[in-house]
Amino acid sequence: MLHGYEDGHSLIASSVDLQMEAARTILILSDMSGPSMQAGFESYITAYPIPMTSYYAVAKTWYAEEMDRPGCVWTHTLLIQINDLSRIHNLEVLLNHFLRPEKQGDLKYYKNPILLNVNKSKNESNIIGDYHFKNYEIEFLNKFLYSIYYKASNESSYFISDQPSKYEKLIFLIWSQQWPSLRSKFNFCTGSISNRKIHDNIFDFQIIPEETIRHIHREMPKAYFIEDNSLNSSPSYPDWVHIASKDIAANNNSKLRRVLWDVGEQTQGGRNDYSILVYISDCLISEDEIDDKLESIIFCLNELYPSPDKGKKIKNYLFGSKLLSIDNLTQPIDDIKLLSQLSTTNYH
């Protein structure tokens, strides 16, 4: 879908017809993300599931300085079936399909579906190759993980920067690691000049200019803010942050990621489960002694679901018929050792 200025901000071209409410949601989110353009925010990405549809939207917006009327933007929105979202191993490949239109250009590109070669996408999953991450990029990964999955696991998280575009690919790498049900719910904007929301649901993560902080803080007192200049500091993080950050930076089909996806799909939770599921997944692929491994996993499950009637699906998945053997990625556990741990644990 392409939106731009035509007697007001409107739909210019599309390859699909949507119901009125869904079309209106996209129209609103395809407009400029604030009352006036801010330096450094001339282009940005907005990603969100479209309510009451089977689509997930990933959009790129450009400030249309060539238009006679100030405040105009172009927005190219890719609509992906939510079931297909999990088939794209590295979501960063979507960035290659955005096309900024010309003022009087041909609209044919926006009127036809785009064919994405999923197998090619998977083969090119390590799109960063031998890229050496800069210190600020590693620190961004750490701070993002710590804030969005821990500090603000039930709230929105904001990153304050006047150069949002340099973090765009990092966010796509983080998003790509998420298991299917989590990535299909996650929404973010890399250039929010004002607070972005769908109805009353605030986006999970947004990059904002400093001028926006006061307004957001009044609207959302519990919002978690991270400052760009704080990336020079290196506070100590829990082990799960370093485990997850290293996997994101590697950007490949690692054992950890495959197990995390498998385990994550057995939960009904969302972002607030992430840190413990990283611990469990790392523990499953570790070469620790069996007794230590089982003890750690039982401890983690108790942290997630302390009540016996909660988390039955993942408990049965880990300690049921599979006995901790996941698609040949982990070693099966002997029944007797498992029963011994379950009968003597403090978390019965």
Question: Which H or E element spans position 23?
Answer: helix 20-30
Q: By three-state DSSP, how is residue 261 classified?
A: helix
pLDDT score at 131? 57
Q: By three-state DSSP, how is residue 158 classified?
A: strand
| 269: pLDDT strictly greater than 80 | no
Amino acid at 262: D
Confidence at 129, pLDDT banded by 50, 70, 90: very low
Range with lowest mean pLDDT among 51-55, 183-187, 278-282, 290-294: 290-294
For residue 273, count other CB atoms closer than 10 A to its CB. Answer: 23
For residue 135, count other CB atoms closer than 10 A to its CB. Answer: 10
| 70: pLDDT strictly greater than 90 | no
| Bridge partners for 95 per DSSP | none
Mean pLDDT (whole number) for 259-272: 86
Mean pLDDT (whole number) for 38-47: 95
**Sheet bearing 55-63, strands edge to edge:** 9-13, 2-5, 73-81, 55-63, 43-49, 188-189, 205-208, 157-160, 224-227
| 195: pLDDT strictly greater than 90 | yes
pLDDT score at 284? 86
And the tokens for 269?
């939770």
Alpha-carbon dihedral 84, 89, 94, 96, rounded to 10 degrees: -140
pLDDT score at 282? 92
HSE value, Cβ hemisphere, 13 Å, CA-based, for 279: 19
Most confident of 75-84, 254-263, 292-301: 75-84
Confidence at 317, pLDDT banded by 50, 70, 90: confident
Per-residue model confidence as pLDDT tens digits over 296-316 = 989 998 988 888 888 888 888
| Bridge partners for 158 per DSSP | 206, 225
Mean pLDDT (whole number) for 56-64: 97
Confidence at 127, pLDDT banded by 50, 70, 90: very low
| 268: pLDDT strictly greater than 80 | no
* Long-range contacts, 235-244 (Cβ 8 Å, 24+): 237/142, 237/145, 237/146, 238/146, 238/150, 238/275, 239/279, 240/275, 240/276, 240/278, 240/279, 240/282, 241/142, 241/145, 241/146, 241/275, 242/142, 243/278, 243/279, 243/282, 244/145, 244/177, 244/274, 244/278
What is the spatial distance between Cα 262 and Cα 327, in angstroms, rounded to a whole number?
Answer: 9
For residue 42, count other CB atoms closer than 10 A to its CB. Answer: 16
Confidence at 289, pLDDT banded by 50, 70, 90: confident
* Burial (CB count within 10 angstroms: exposed 0-12, middle 13-18, buried 19+), residue 91: buried
Q: Check residues 277 and 331 and name the one with the higher pLDDT.
A: 277
Mean pLDDT (whole number) for 275-295: 88
Most confident of 67-76, 128-137, 222-231: 67-76
Confidence at 319, pLDDT banded by 50, 70, 90: confident
* Long-range contacts, 214-217 (Cβ 8 Å, 24+): 216/158
Q: Compute φ and ψ for 17, nearest 5 degrees.
A: -100, 130
And the tokens for 151?
């500090």
pLDDT score at 309? 86
pLDDT score at 126? 46
Q: By three-state DSSP, how is residue 287 classified?
A: coil
And the tokens for 301?
């499950």
Mean pLDDT (whole number) for 161-179: 93
Per DSSP, 321 falls in state T
What is the spatial distance between Cα 26 and Cα 35, in angstroms, rounded to a whole number?
Answer: 18
| 227: pLDDT strictly greater than 70 | yes
pLDDT score at 323? 53
Q: By three-state DSSP, how is residue 181 classified?
A: helix
pLDDT score at 128? 46
Tell me the CA distances in angstroms from 286 to 38, 176, 202, one per residue in order.
47, 23, 38
Confidence at 322, pLDDT banded by 50, 70, 90: low
Looking at the chain, the whole-number percentage of residues with pLDDT higher than 90 is 51
Residues 71 and 56: beta-carbon distance below 8 Å: no
Mean pLDDT (whole number) for 327-336: 71
| 210: pLDDT strictly greater than 50 | yes
CA-based R_g, the chain, Å: 22
Residues 29 and 68: beta-carbon distance below 8 Å: no
Per-residue model confidence as pLDDT tens digits over 150-161 = 888 788 999 999
Confidence at 132, pLDDT banded by 50, 70, 90: confident
